[in-house]
Each structure stands twice: as structure tokens, then as C-alpha cells.
Amino acid sequence: MHRTEEAKIVFLKMSEHDSGSYNLMIKLYGIEGRLDDCQRMFEKMPRRNIVTLNSMMSVLLQNGKLEDGLKLFEQIKDEGNTITWNSMISGYVQNDHPSGALKLFVVMCRLPIVCSPSTFPALLHACAAVGTIEQGKMVHAHLCKTPFESNSYVGTALVDMYLKCGCVGDARSAFCCIASPNVASWTSLINGLAQNGQWLEAVVEFGRMLKHHINPNEITFLGLLMASARAGLVNKGMRFFHSMESYGLVPTVEHYTCAVDLLGRTGRIREAEKFISEMPVPADKVVWGALLTACWYSMDLEMGEKVAEKLLCMGTEHISAYVAMSNIYAKLGKWEDVVKVRTRLRSLDVKKEPGCSWIELKDIVHVFLVEDRNHPERDELYVMLENLVYNISLHSEPDEDLYWLSGA
């Protein structure tokens, strides 16, 4: 705010204003979300060039005004340049409309618009967001026709896309194509491997990263702690945690939460509690929630009750914490407390995100929610499911239980 006001004073004192000075003020106002000031500055301009129009469109998109940004894009796209199209593609992704970005890229490919390194990361993020690997490979195919595949920024986005779509082999191949992998590239690979269940491989890649003299960042350690927790490598995980300071990094609450999860998953509940008590920053609801979940998994009901009471006093709004609390009180036979927890949950109007699954078929991603009856082909789908369940029952042993949800 300070610098923007100083810039405004200088701007007002200028005897003449060119497009560059107007563009700069629009960008500064945009960074602070001052859309009205952006609009006033934009309207004052005697002459607007494509740079100005691109700047105004980017400001709108970055501040959540997708419809306004799209309206401006439609007005200028014929005279627009690569930046115009890149900005609109990024705007779709920033505003949680990844399918719009992919559709726009298809249109862009039919025009004499030259792609730049900035074109591809947003597209790859869009593919990762919708989990559509076929479209991701299509974008990759276009990328291969450019000299940008070895670019660390572009290559990292490609690695991230493949890992989020579960294609570990393709991600490794993409990583090998990066000319000079940076900390973001290595971190994307390490965290992606951890998220795909390849925990030991994630730890191995960290060793390779250090051999290439690349220092980790805070996000790298989140992936390492998660990998260690899932692989049961408690001692190694805690060594990772304590080594952060040697790289000049200060653990955040997220790192402490991961460390509590790491200890809790292996039943070291008392050690996790001691760890929380020695934290240099106050433990928040998420940290205590991680310990509560660990208490439930370890059936440490005494500690679980203690943590549950603390969370109730803190007024957590995480539904998983309430579920764990309710389960622990039920296991202890404290039904009044179960009712209290559930009443508190209802009063907060905490809603659980519906579970969903999706499948890609012929370049179309079909998403299914729990108890979803809105799919256009729902009748055919339910007939197919009923036939499938019937056939499974025919091939099941008499003493086997067959569970299925008729409302799923």
C-alpha cells in the first residue's frame, strides 16, 4: 500500500503520462486488489494498446473476476498476442475452471499464436486438477514440438501433472528431460512419489538431490515427513525434522503436525504429546487433531479423551476431529459426551465434503458423487451396477460377505 501511494504521488506530479506509466499503476493497484482504482486508471487512458489491455485483463482474472476478464478477452483476442492467450488460460486455472483452460488451448492451437514457456505450466496444472491424463499427454505432445521441455519451470509442471495423475514412470522420464532441475523440480518429484505410495523412493530421491548440491526448502521436508510417516520410518523422519535448521529453515506448524502424525502412526503417543508440549509455537487445532486421530488408531482412549476435551475447548471445526472424538467417547461408553460432540457438530453446521470418484473415457472426465443421481446416464449405470453385483454374488463363496451400498 505504501509503495503504491508513493507511486501515485509521482504519477500525479508527472507532466505527461505514457502507456507505460498507466500500465504500471494498473498493475500496482491490481496487486493490492484495488479494482475500482484500476478501472478508473484504465478509463483515463487516452490511448490503450494491447499491453494495457492485457494488464487490465490479468488484474481482473487475478482478483476473481473471471466473467469480466473473459468479456475483455473476447473483445481483444483478435488483436491479442501470446500473452493475451496465456493470461486467459492462467485465469481459467486460477479461478478453478481448468476445463475452460484446456478448451481455450485447443482453439489457440488452430490459430497462428506462438506458444511460450508460460503457456504450458497453467495447462499442465489444469490437466492435474481434473485428473485427465489423455489431455495431459496431448499437451505434452505439443510441448515436445517446442524447445521448452528442458526448461525447469515447464518441466517441473510436467512432472507434477504426471505424478498427480498417478503416472510415476512418465513423471520420472519428464524429470530426466529437465536440463537443470532446481529445488522446485526435486521437491515436486519427492512429494509426488510420497503421495503415490512410493515412500522409500522419495527418500532415495532426496539423497540424490543433496548429491547434486541442491538444498531443500520447507515444502521438500513436508514431503519427506509424509513419506517417513507412511513408510513407518520414525527415527529417519524425526532426523529429517531436526535437520531443517542445518539448512537455515524454521519448521512451521505444518511440519510439527507431520511430525506428530509420524510419531502417532507408530503408537508413540506419549512421545507425540511431549513433542507438542515442547513446541516453540502454540499448537493449533490441526496439531491436536493429528494426535487425536493417532489416539483412535492406537486405541489409547485415556489420552484420546484428554485430547478430545482440549479440542472441544479450542472449538475445532475439523469434522475428522469430531468423528474421532465421538468414536473415542463411544468406545468408553460415555454416551452423554457422544451426544454433546454431535450436538456441537450440528450447531457449527460443519459439512463433510462428499466423496467422489472419476473416470476418464474418450477424453471426457465423468465425476460421480456419493448418492449421485444427476448423471445423464444414471439409469443405464445403475442397471450395469446391479448386474455387476449379481454376477459377483454368483461367484462368491457362500460364507463370504458381499457388501455394497444400494444408494451409492
Query: Tell me, what's the pLDDT at 407?
Result: 43
Query: Tell me, what's the pLDDT at 230?
Result: 87
CB contact at 8 A, 7 and 24: yes
pLDDT tens for the 408 residues of the chain, in order: 557 777 777 777 787 777 778 788 888 888 888 888 888 888 888 788 888 899 899 999 999 999 999 999 999 999 889 999 999 999 999 999 999 999 999 999 999 999 999 999 999 999 998 877 889 999 999 999 999 999 999 999 999 999 999 999 999 999 999 999 999 999 999 999 999 999 999 999 999 999 999 999 999 999 999 999 988 899 999 999 999 999 999 999 999 999 999 999 888 999 999 999 999 988 888 899 899 888 888 888 888 888 877 887 777 666 767 777 788 788 778 888 888 878 877 776 655 555 666 665 555 556 666 666 666 777 777 788 788 877 777 766 554 444 444 444
Query: Tell me, what's the pLDDT at 403?
Result: 43
Instruction: Give the integer Cα–Cα distance in Å for 254 and 228.
Output: 15
Query: Tell me, what's the pLDDT at 243?
Result: 96
Locate the domains of the chain by residue range: 371-408
Contacts 24+ apart (CB under 8 A), 297-304: 297/264, 297/265, 298/264, 298/267, 298/269, 299/331, 300/267, 300/269, 301/328, 301/331, 301/332, 303/269, 303/270, 303/273, 304/328
Query: Tell me, what's the pLDDT at 353?
Result: 57
Instruction: Give the integer Cα–Cα distance in Å for 277 and 172.
Output: 41
- Around Cβ 399, how many Cβ atoms within 10 Å? 5
pTM of the entire predicted model? 0.77
Query: Tell me, what's the pLDDT at 307?
Result: 85
